[in-house]
Structure 1
Amino acid sequence: MRYAKGHKETSHERIVKAAAKRFRRDGIAATGMTGIMTEAGLTNGGFYSHFRSKNDLVREGIERALADQLQSLADPDPEPVALAHLIRSYLSQHHRDRPGTGCASAALLPEIARQPHSVRKAYTARLRTLIRQLARRLPQDNAIPESQDTAIAILAVFIGTLQLSRAVDDPALSDAMLAAGIRAATTLAGLADGSVQHEGIQG
């Protein structure tokens, strides 16, 4: 069968997009190739024409998930309200309840740490970019090294808070964790003057 020009690239894109979603939603170990290929609308037989192994797909899927996150930081807005919105959006009920389209780090860190070096190397490169772009969102009177340290600390609060809020079975406690995370990230970002409001957890 002859395919139109660009068919393989389009199919590859569909597989990676499906993998990025399934890995975040169900976990890497629990996600089989059959499920990914089915979600991409393709047959299992075509997998190895795109990837040498599941590890290759894991690497690309994680890169895609992080690229989506980086896109939201691509155009830094120096206004405090923009950073406040970013904090509220990340630590929101909406984000907590939709891991399949959310932060790859919060969804997959324990599994990423157990992946082969090639996967962890790709993750590290994307994470470095994420840290730099988040640092650029911080108040401009911060020195560069301090901004990077602050960005790392904010990411730690983001990821840890989101993981905890998803793990507990008490909705009230989960919401309280999100609110506490917002306050902590707000303080770290130098926005403790009220730029971020508690109601931000409503997403």
Structure 2
Amino acid sequence: MRVSKEQAARNRERILDAASRLIRERGISGMGVDALADAAGMTHGSMYSQFGSKERLVEEAVTHAVVGKEREIPDGFALGDYFSEYLSAGHRDKPGSGCPFAALCCEMPRQSGGVRERFTAGVRRMIGLLSARMASTLKPRQREEKALATAASLIGALVLARAVNDPKLSDDILRATRNHLSD
């Protein structure tokens, strides 16, 4: 039975939603096609007909996750509010709906050029977003440098807070980084 273009688009979106959540929760290598098919409520065949390969699916899932997180950021956001939200226990504890950079950065060196390209493009957009919110008294190069360091601090702190097995230390990493960035 043929699927309408509208249904195919909805199926594609459902697959990308599930894939972007699963790669953030389990990692790219931990996202099996069976688990993805179950999560999306689809068959293997429908996934391959939409994307052709797991690599292509991962490329699009990375982009989907990045764009989805960007859409959640309100226009004219205050950096302090962004830092508080990003470096929160809630964000730390829900990687499946959280920052794709913190969830996937440790896997990127082992990924294909296409996956890394999508990831890198997203990081550049995050840096641009942060740079645009930096003090206008800074010169453009200073804003970019500060945005680079801020992005690295945010992502690194979240990765480290998720990695340690001491809840107090994890909370302290988030708090100390929030305080440092807010100075």
Cα distance between partner residues in 2 of 1:3 and 1:28: 29
Gaps of 5+ in 2: none
Taking the TM superposition and a 5 Å limit, the aligned residue runs for 1:36-51 are 36-51=36-51
Cα distance between partner residues in 2 of 1:184 and 1:61: 32
Aligned to 1:119: 115
Cα distance between partner residues in 2 of 1:147 and 1:61: 30
Taking the TM superposition and a 5 Å limit, the aligned residue runs for 1:27-66 are 27-66=27-66
Letter paired with 2:57? L
Aligned to 2:83: 87
Q: 1:144 aligns with which of 136, 140, 154?
A: 140
Decide whether the 8 Å contact of 2:59 with 2:114 is kept in 1: yes
Aligned to 2:95: 99
RMSD (CA atoms): 1.3
Q: Which has the higher helix share?
A: 2
Cα distance between partner residues in 1 of 2:61 and 2:48: 15
Cα distance between partner residues in 2 of 1:37 and 1:14: 10
Aligned to 1:195: none
CA 127–93 in structure 1, closer or farther in 2 if over 3 Å, else same: same
TM-score (normalised: structure 2): 0.95
Instruction: Note the alpha carbon deviations across 1:24-58, whole angstroms, 9 max, x for none.
Output: 01111011011112111111221211112111111
SS of equivalent residue, structure 2 residue 51: coil
Figure out how many residues of one structure are paired with residues of the other and give that number.
183
TM-score (normalised: structure 1): 0.86
Decide whether the 8 Å contact of 2:101 with 2:119 is kept in 1: no
Aligned to 1:178: 174
Gaps of 5+ in 1: 187-191, 193-203
Aligned to 1:76: 76
SS of equivalent residue, structure 1 residue 113: helix
Cα distance between partner residues in 1 of 2:12 and 2:72: 23
Decide whether the 8 Å contact of 1:20 with 1:61 is kept in 2: yes
